Amino acid sequence: MEQKIKIAVQKSGRLYEDSIKLLKECGIGFSNGMNKLRTEAQNFPMEILFLRDDDIPQYVEDGVADIGIVGENILAETGKALNLVERLGFGKCRLSLAVPKSSAYEKLSDLNGMKIATSYSRVLQGYLKENKIQGEIHEISGSVEIAPSIGLADAVCDLVSSGSTLFANGLREVETVMSSEAVLVANRNLGSEQAAILDKLLFRMRAVRKARSNRYILLNAPDEKLETICNILPGMKSPTILPLAEKGWSSVHSVIDENDFWEITEKLKENGAEGILVVPIEKMII
């Protein structure tokens, strides 16, 4: 029988859509109808298991799944022995400490003696120990943000992305305990066939992610400005230069990082570039 890799992804929730989108952009076709617990890819040796995020590290450690997509916060909290294969750039958030707005909190040592409510007691315990703080941890499984207002705790340690939940509950974010994003994890003892499939998957994931953060740029430039313009453009190797029908002008093509987009296009314009076009890239193999 053909060997497959089993990947565990979140069944529903904040990581679900981006996980599915990433697999689909890797060219992996599968149906993921409601309430399905597992499905087989049609054109890639992969079986997809849909699970609660909290259970994913355990399943991967036990080898029920070979690999999984999970938040670093969950990985750290479950403390399972897994390989972190790749950061995936979505599901970004931070695990932070927050206190009521009225609190006199100024510095970390003010946490000494405080009751802190959290669902992340392992991570918090490590953080307090590292910083030599004696805090009292109250493990609760949900709605951590209401703990101070009902008198259950003096502070909370919870996940934050926009910060609006903390704000709505009259809390002030004071320290970041850890930053987190979705990561691809793998069992430490993958079979050689699964390891080879994982390599293929990684190759595709990197091509997809690289393409997402890059743009293809085309512009026209007078020939006497070509050298300056080529120096502004990073390019994969060097820009492509094609002569235009109009004498003394060339078309220049290159790839730029999305983050440098405005800076680069401004410089290009200042240096005589015209007709600048920027287009998305679907896949990028380098």
CB 17 → ligand PRT: shortest distance, Å? 10
- The type of residue at 47 is E
User: Three-class SS of residue 119?
Assistant: coil
Residue whose C-alpha is closest to residue 85's, from 183, 191, 207, 200 = 183
The item of ligand PRT, Zn ion, none sharing an interface with residue 66, based on CB under 5 to 8 Å by kind, is none
| 77 is a site residue for Zn ion (CB under 5 A) | no
Contacts to ligand PRT from residues 73-112, by CB under 6 A: 73-74, 91, 93
The item of ligand PRT, Zn ion, none sharing an interface with residue 14, based on CB under 5 to 8 Å by kind, is ligand PRT
| 14 is a site residue for Zn ion (CB under 5 A) | no
CA distance 59 to 8: 8
The item of Zn ion, ligand PRT, none sharing an interface with residue 162, based on CB under 5 to 8 Å by kind, is ligand PRT
Segment interacting with ligand PRT, rule: CB under 6 A, options 67-75, 109-117, 122-130, 208-216: 67-75
Q: Which of 111, 116, 157, 160 binds ligand PRT (CB under 6 A)?
A: 160
| 10 is a site residue for ligand PRT (CB under 6 A) | yes
| 177 is a site residue for ligand PRT (CB under 6 A) | no
Q: Which of 83, 165, 228, 251 binds ligand PRT (CB under 6 A)?
A: 165
Residue whose C-alpha is closest to residue 126's, from 115, 113, 117, 135 = 135
- Strands ordered across the beta sheet of 171-180: 136-139, 115-118, 155-160, 93-100, 171-180
Cα atoms in the Cβ-side hemisphere of radius 13 Å centred on 283? 11
Within 79-191, residue ranges assigned H as helices are 121-130, 164-168
Residue whose C-alpha is closest to residue 72's, from 182, 198, 236 = 182
DSSP one-letter code for 38 = E
Contacts to ligand PRT from residues 200-229, by CB under 6 A: none
Is the CB of 66 or the CB of 77 nearer to Zn ion? 77
C-alpha distances out from residue 170 to 99, 151, 177, Å: 8, 13, 20
What tokens appear for 244 in the block?
A: 């235009």
The contact pattern for Zn ion, residues 44-63, with x = CB under 5 A and - = no contact, is: ---------xx---------
Interface residues with ligand PRT (CB under 6 A) are 10, 13-15, 52-54, 71, 73-74, 91, 93, 158-165, 180
